Structure 1
Amino acid sequence: MKPRTLVIGDIHGGLKALKQVLARAEVTAQDTLIFLGDYVDGWGESAQVIQFLIELEQKQTCIFIKGNHDLWCEDWLKEHILDKTWLFHGGQSTLKSYESLNDAEHALHLNFFERMRLYYVDEQNRLFVHAGFTSMHGPAQEFHQSNFKWDRTLWEMALTMHKHITKDSKLYPKRLLLFKEIFIGHTPTLNYDVTIPMNGCNVWNVDTGAAFTGSLTIMDIDTKEFWQSDTLVSLYPNEKGRNR
């Protein structure tokens, strides 16, 4: 099989789903994996997801983007900051998952979070970012780096302009012209009653709601073929995930 580049949506502590999509996509060591962030918070295996990813990157090329939930967890591992918003949005399950890990494992995981990228641009000028960016000059000129982990305006703009305007129009959003394609997570497609990846202009949203009642998705960025796990509620029937 020809080596592929595969992008993976928000995992949110769903290790069972992660293993399932990697198997269903028949991922090999020759494939490059790009993860869009939010590895933790939600289902009960957040620490186990991080450990699995640390071991996975020893076997093949992996690129890890940092999400807003990952930053919360990083702050806790580094300075024991218990953000109340974090605890409300899945942090409690993450804390519980770390109870069985020792100090050395905590340090290893902290190093992993600190090594995550804010965004990544490949050789074909395709951008991978957790949420979005606002600068008209691209993410390298972004004034507020928190936008990489929180911004939804890029996605909302892409949805609004989709099929209503062409790239040769002077009205086409300049942010979207900066890249061949943009791949994001952060905003669950379930918000639009959609359970599969969504496309708006040249933006692809791969967060199919694994934190809630949806599935985890992995997509071939060249062919747009994708594979999904079972719903997380079926994989973790005794858990609630993140409350919407």
Structure 2
Amino acid sequence: MGRTLAIGDIHGGLKALKQLLHEKVKITAEDTIIFLGDYVDGWSDSANVVSYLIALNKNFNCIFMRGNHDDLTHQYLKNGTMTDRWIIHGGQSSIDGYAKLSSEEIKQHMLFFTEMQNYYVDDQNRLFVHAGFTNLHGPENEYYDTGFYWDRTLWEMVIALDPAIKKDSDFYPKRLQIFDEIFIGHTPVTRIGKTLPVNKASIWNVDTGAAFKGCISALEVDTKEVWQSDPVHTLYPNENGRN
């Protein structure tokens, strides 16, 4: 039996991603690898990360969530849409990276962006999503797709949740009663002073700040074993990432 691995935010850190998957986790063809999104916007290998993931998917069982930065880069590739805020927060690395690719490579990447999933539910009632969802009846009832890769209220809610409130209480958040576990990225746990994936209530946050001074993390969702790359910035010593 293979492992089920949740991979946190990458943000262009291809060197760290390869180290994590091949040297630390040592992935096999039996593993299922669920990427939680934000593959681009940060370190200089943003476009190269996507090329790598496209190739990886040919030999491994991969499932790709859509992150907010993936959507922003996709909009840029489709429509030329760019904002100063996106450029400042890592978009320039994607602009620079895609300027080096051929039109055929960009076409393949655009297909990859289009085929990403907003969320995924496995056969053990576990949800995988980049950011979250807001509908109390579950993500399939969401009115707008953008919440899946932009919402922070799910994580903010469990950070503030009183642990004394039990799951069968009328006061327990309805969104947390739908799934047995939820795996997310999007909000670096370094913001609350942590360096490893963090569990709050039924949620596991696997974003360990790869865009800044942190690592890329892999979490085995059954055993909760964790592997991490070196801090990504140490593998790109002449860059600033999103710092």
Q: TM-score range by the shorter chain?
A: over 0.9
**How do residues 28-177 of structure 1 correspond to structure 2 at under 5 angstroms?**
28-161=28-161, 163-177=163-177
Post-superposition offset of 1:162: 5.3
> How large is the Cα RMSD of the aligned pairs?
0.9
Query: Structure 1: how far apart are the matches of 2:209 and 2:164?
Result: 27
Shift of 1:196: 0.5
- Residues 162 and 200, structure 1, Cα contact 8 Å, conserved in 2: no
Cα shift at 1:144:
2.1
Moved over 6 A (4+): none
What SS is found at the alignment partner of 1:87?
Answer: helix
Match of 1:226 in 2: 226
Cα distance between partner residues in 1 of 2:165 and 2:35? 30
Amino acid at match of 1:138: G
Q: 2:116 is aligned with what amino acid?
A: M
Matched residue of 1:108: which SS? helix
Structure 1 distance, partners of 2:164, 2:37, is 30
Normalised TM-score (structure 1) = 0.97
Moved more, 81-90 or 167-176: 81-90
The aligned length equals: 242
Superposed CA deviations along residues 65-100 of structure 1, whole A, max 9, x for unmatched, are 001000011011111212322111101011111222
Match of 1:20 in 2: 19
Q: Counterpart of 2:219 in 1: which secondary structure?
A: strand
Letter in 1 for 2:170: K
Could you state the TM-score of these two structures normalised by the residue count of structure 2? Answer: 0.97
Which amino acid in the other structure matches residue 37 of structure 1?
G
Q: Which residue in the other structure is 1:200 paired with?
A: 200
Identity %: 55
Q: Relative to structure 2, which stretch is displaced further, 43-52 or 86-95?
A: 86-95
Write out per-residue CA displacement over residues 21-72 of structure 1, whole angstroms, 9 at most, x where no aligned residue: 1020111111000000000000000111000000001001110000100001
- Choose 164-173 or 28-37, whichever is displaced more: 164-173
Distance in 2 between residues matched to 1:16 and 1:66, nearest whole Å:
21
Measured after TM superposition, the shift of residue 14 of structure 1 is: 0.2
Shift of 1:184: 0.3
Give the whole-Å Cα distance in 2 for the aligned partners of 1:86 and 1:147.
18
Which segments of 5 or more consecutive residues in structure 2 lack a partner in the other structure?
none
Q: Secondary structure of the residue that 2:241 maps to in structure 1?
A: coil
CA distance, structure 2, for counterparts of residue 214 and residue 31 of structure 1: 25
Which sections of structure 1, spanning at least 5 residues, go unmatched?
none
Specify the code of the residue in structure 2 equivalent to 1:211.
A
